[in-house]
Amino acid sequence: MTQRTDPNTEPVRLLFEMTREDNPRLYDDLIRFNKGTKRVNRLRFLAHEGLLAQNWMLVPAAGGISQSPGAAQPASMSVNPIAAGHMVQAFDVPTLGGED
């Protein structure tokens, strides 16, 4: 008899190929790292940050907060400059002599 595992504890395994034409920014960012753990961790980090950014964008719409540029943001909706810097760095053009 086969054992059933809880879907919430089962690991997700991915194997995919991507060319530069598919997504140039993501490709350039990931190609900086050699195959292996560092590249996988970078992809995991970008996916996590993307989910956080996507969920953050949904919060104002759900609360009915105005998205106009002149509208004041409540303190809880202010941008963290450190987190913003990490996001800019994550999607910036990679340097040739960057990290391994």
Q: According to the model, what pLDDT value does residue 68 have?
A: 47
Q: What is the pLDDT of residue 52?
A: 85
Is residue 49 a contact partner of residue 87, using CB atoms and an 8 Å limit?
Answer: yes
pLDDT at 93: 61
Residue 81 has what pLDDT? 74
Low-confidence ranges of the chain (pLDDT < 70): 1-5, 57-77, 88, 91-100
Residue 30 pLDDT: 93
Question: d(Cα 29, Cα 17) in Å, to the nearest integer?
Answer: 15
Predicted confidence at residue 32, as pLDDT, reads 94
The model scores a pTM over 0.85? no
Q: Which two tokens stand for residue 25?
A: 């920014």
pLDDT at 29: 93
